[in-house]
Amino acid sequence: MSSLKESISRHIRAHGPMSLAQYMSEALMHPTHGYYTNETVFGSQGDFITAPEISQVFGELVGLWAADLWQRAGTPSPFQLVELGPGHGTLMADALRVTRVAPGFHDALHLSLIEGSPQLRLKQAERLAPSGIAPSWYDGLADVPDRGPAIIIANEFFDALPIRQYVFDGDRWMERRVGLNGQDDLAYTHMAGHPAESCLPSEPPKKGDVLETCMSAISVMRAISEQLLGTGGAALIVDYGYARPAYGDTFQAMRRHKFVDPLAEPGLADLTAHVNFATLARVALDLGLTVHGPVDQGAWLTRLGIGARTQQLVVAAKSPRQAENLAAASRRLVDSDQMGTLFRVMAVTSPNWPTPVGFEDAS
Ligand code: SAH
């Protein structure tokens, strides 16, 4: 048994079944045995691959998106460029490389990275060294010092935030928790519990319906919104998720590019849940921000010019094989049977900021 599984089991024996949220945060962020503090998690060698790891074009277009917005917002200086959960730092490295062309952008920016894993902070430092821009790292948005307006980027960050699950038994909601079965193995168990009213879809539940609530995502979204209201700015959120409140079990574990049982190997598999964009949008709207989208990632990247940029790279490729790989990587980000429609892009802006590129008719 892995040492993390052992420590989770001990905790359950002492305190009773734990919420899925607590299980997720132990499994992902435990300081010594957590998934993000341990494993080679991304890339073709790891357990899953993210858009910036698939193609340099993704981070490049996000960088140009940010620089364009900054220019149209009146080139505020200084301003904060913030990334939540930068992983290997690939998106930001690609973004900073292309934004050298935007006069004054690099001189104006302070780069803040929100990262919970010390090991990933080291990787990010390494990856960003060639940019010549020294980032500062923080545990949360609230720790970032105030240095003007903020442009905040989060790719595949919200799906890693802990959720709780509730199951409707025909009469009432029960919370699905992680306990121990007769063989002393981790197993789901149900206990009395009621989801926050604000998370309930408008149609009533049927027997067996599962509802997921994500209080951490809500509190991160609230922190983003408060920051943007205070200083001005914009946030870009890219993730897989659903655009309307809905029932459904989206809790999943991935190891070596395959789905596995989320309770089988805590700390060794990536645990995620689909992002509820409707709830995040509601938080921002209620606080007085403007919400753009969500729109499909494929459509958004197409509007940003992924076709032309890919063509440029294909023409400059060193071999036909490299050219084909570059084209295939872009197709993977855009095509609807790959990441193009599963992933969605949403932006949030403070009232005085312009509409960001890619959302012109999606507000
Ligand atoms: N954005 C990257 C990585 C996505 S994986 C990419 O697209 O490749 C999720 C990232 O969020 C990792 O860097 C992980 O360590 C970080 N993370 C997850 N939960 C976190 C939390 N609660 N606080 C801070 N960082 C967190």
1-5, 51-55, 97-101, 125-129 — which is least confidently predicted?
1-5
50 in contact with ligand 1, CB cutoff 6 A: yes
Whole-angstrom Cα distance, residue 81 to residue 322?
Answer: 32
Q: Mark 233-259 as b/e (b = at least 16 C-beta within 10 Å).
A: bbbbbbbbbbbebebeebbbbbbeeee
* pLDDT for the residue 200: 83
Q: What average pLDDT is seen over the chain? A: 94
Task: Please report how many Cα atoms fall inside a 13 Å half-sphere around the Cα of residue 27, on the Cβ side.
Answer: 29
* pLDDT for the residue 245: 79
Residue 39 predicted with pLDDT over 80: no
* pLDDT for the residue 348: 98
Tokens in use for 299?
């459509």
Question: Average pLDDT in the 126-144 region?
Answer: 96
Site to substitute for ligand 1 among 22, 26, 36, 224, most atoms within 8 A of C-beta:
36
**pLDDT one-digit tens code per residue, 252-290:** 999 988 999 999 999 999 999 999 999 999 999 999 999
29 in contact with ligand 1, CB cutoff 6 A: yes
Q: Residue 321 Cα, ligand 1 centroid: separation in angstroms?
A: 32
Which has the closest alpha carbon to 237: 185, 197, 264, 276? 276
94 in contact with ligand 1, CB cutoff 6 A: no
Which has the closest alpha carbon to 120: 216, 41, 33? 41
Question: Average pLDDT in the 169-193 region?
Answer: 95
Tokens in use for 177?
């928790």
**pLDDT one-digit tens code per residue, 216-226:** 999 999 999 99
155 in contact with ligand 1, CB cutoff 6 A: yes
**pLDDT one-digit tens code per residue, 228-244:** 999 999 999 999 998 88
156 in contact with ligand 1, CB cutoff 6 A: yes
Secondary structure of residue 335 in the 3-state scheme: coil
Residue nearest to atom 2 of ligand 1 (CA): 87
Model pTM?
0.96
Query: SS3 string of 160-222?
Result: HCCCEEEEECCCCEEEEEEEECCCCCEEEEEEECCCCHHHCCCCCCCCCCEEEECHHHHHHHH
Q: Identify the helix (H) or strand (E) that includes residue 293.
A: strand 290-296
89 in contact with ligand 1, CB cutoff 6 A: no
